Structure 1
């Protein structure tokens, strides 16, 4: 393979040392990201790590993204490019790249996000130091708006740039059931683990919750306490779609919750999942997917008897009340109440 970073060093031992460093495959998926894709790709080729493979998949863009990618590849011909004439879905597009990837480690990069300098080197260094069944190294991220202005951090930081509160590490299966605490694009994953799991589940609309449930039951995660990623928040992003009645994200979430239920092994894990299911009952109700709210309720009954509020929401779901418009208006007034992720 030829690295896209083109890193060279004049020290006598550097060529040998670079050759023995593990390869990292960055799989970048793009869909109508013409405004951002060049910055995303540039953030990969500018990494100071010697062995980086870059695979780009355009998923049926209609906005000029393909032309931007093609122009970029003219400067870096070692980039591998797949152009899908139609959008085949995020999970399937990623798996196209995974089938080609040869690196020991994988980064799943959206074409509107940005790797910060040193990210690959630092995450590989931690991975190579770890002992035991570790499958993922993840980090902190800064959220930026469409203009690239920083608006928040995934984990609030102190003056030294470190997370103010402890971040789960090691066995994270129960914390993953309790809440969305990992910023997905900060992850570096072992390719052999992804292959063992069969890649992303192509029947789902999104990837992260399912990957966490399936991998964290078997492997550990390690947190690297640095801001190593810029995660862009756009009004038309997938996470923003979860408040609309026609979204299919929550249906995928129900499938993942059943997978999680099958993998729970302790009363605390079941209770963590129950808490998450109660949240999804409310979300399904607010987007008027009433049948789905009732299906979440059925799964909840496998764990516990629904409490008063959950029972109330389930009862109201049978009435098919038109609540979504009021819900979206509420989120305009109190945007902080809406999670940045679909799950």
Structure 2
């Protein structure tokens, strides 16, 4: 098999409890041709000292220590500027790669046509202790997915819903560079990257569980309902990009449906003015309709609903990510 170089760009921030396991999972890969680039985003705990110890023991790893937290997108772009690999993995300092992940993904990617820019797979969610929870996609007894996963031209699917587990992706470096890297004006990267890349390149799903994604209360995805977190403002920016990129009425319909979801999220997060801006964008596509107009009306009343919704969301998140008795032998023994 060809062995093209793979660049693993690891971003860390206050991951002292998890970074040792994360970096060790890269060092244990069965694939030999890997460059590891670590960017610490001004951690205030012992993360950086743990990274330095790893680099002493693994001198081929590269390390950048930021003096201040530049944000996730900017930190990744720092690593991308150094990357030389044909393929790139965006790796968080609290996730874990199973030992054969890169070997399996490279083999899969190398057999795809050049117009495929991104591959992704299934993942097992783990908690702070490493205990397994649910899978990103439901699986049968052999670990194979039980539902249909979009593949090929997934642009409309990306607009419709969240379905890709970000840390499972492997990307062509040429694709990321053609897009100019991640948009550093945004709080988070994945929705924007999916929109800008899937409109130009094909995506392929690899039906294997190759990553353990850690779910923590302070995870970025949990901040969407925190007022003024910047998450929904970034989402609004991406929706405007999608409006300009859309190629068909079906894609506009998908975007309209997603905007309605974001208007509700703005209400729950008490981002009332942003909900009104989303409503204006929706109006360019279709009539918002009575249910959406009702939510916007409630936004104008500026009701203090955030505390109640966050309480509900935290309880629901614990229910979803809690252990459900899965047989994960095929994962942990891989």
Identify whether the pair has TM-score above 0.5, normalized to the shorter chain. yes
Q: Is the 8 A contact 1:205 1:252 kept in 2?
A: yes
Pairwise CA distance, 1:50: 1.5
Task: Give the match for residue 208 of structure 1.
Answer: 190
Task: Give the match for residue 307 of structure 2.
Answer: 325
2:165 to 183, 188, 206: 183
Q: How big is the alpha-carbon RMSD for the aligned residues of Structure 1 and Structure 2?
A: 1.4
Pairwise CA distance, 1:21: 1.4
Aligned length: 321
Pairwise CA distance, 1:307: 1.8
Pairwise CA distance, 1:318: 1.1
* 2-structure distance, mates of 1:305, 1:120: 47
1:246 aligns to what SS in structure 2?
Answer: coil
1:318 aligns to what SS in structure 2?
Answer: helix
* 1-structure distance, mates of 2:227, 2:246: 30
2:5 to 20, 23, 26: 23
Q: Deviations over 1:47-90 (max 9, x none)?
A: 01110000000000011001101111111001000000110000
1:193 aligns to what SS in structure 2?
Answer: helix
* 2-structure distance, mates of 1:168, 1:326: 35
Structure 2: segments with no counterpart, 5+ residues: 322-334
Q: Deviations over 1:76-120 (max 9, x none)?
A: 001000000110000000000000000000000000000012110
Pairwise CA distance, 1:331: 2.4
1:85 to 67, 92, 100: 67
1:200 aligns to what SS in structure 2?
Answer: coil
- Distance verdict in 2 for CA 1:159–1:74, change over 3 Å: same
Q: Is the 8 A contact 1:331 1:338 kept in 2?
A: no
1:61-140 superposed matches below 5 A: 61-140=43-122
1:56 counterpart = 2:38:
yes
* 2-structure distance, mates of 1:301, 1:136: 33
1:287 counterpart = 2:287:
no
* 1-structure distance, mates of 2:292, 2:188: 26
Q: Deviations over 1:185-237 (max 9, x none)?
A: 00000001111100000000000000000000000001000000000000111
How high is the TM-score relative to the length of structure 2?
0.94
Task: Give the match for residue 272 of structure 1.
Answer: 254
Runs of 4+ in 1 over 4 A off after TM superposition: 336-339
Pairwise CA distance, 1:328: 1.8
- Distance verdict in 2 for CA 1:219–1:254, change over 3 Å: same
Task: Give the match for residue 330 of structure 2.
Answer: none
Pairwise CA distance, 1:155: 0.2
Pairwise CA distance, 1:329: 2.7
1:301 counterpart = 2:296:
no
Task: Give the match for residue 141 of structure 2.
Answer: 159
Q: Is the 8 A contact 1:331 1:337 kept in 2?
A: no
Pairwise CA distance, 1:327: 1.4
* 2-structure distance, mates of 1:102, 1:325: 46
Pairwise CA distance, 1:246: 2.6
Structure 1: segments with no counterpart, 5+ residues: 1-16
* 2-structure distance, mates of 1:329, 1:286: 11
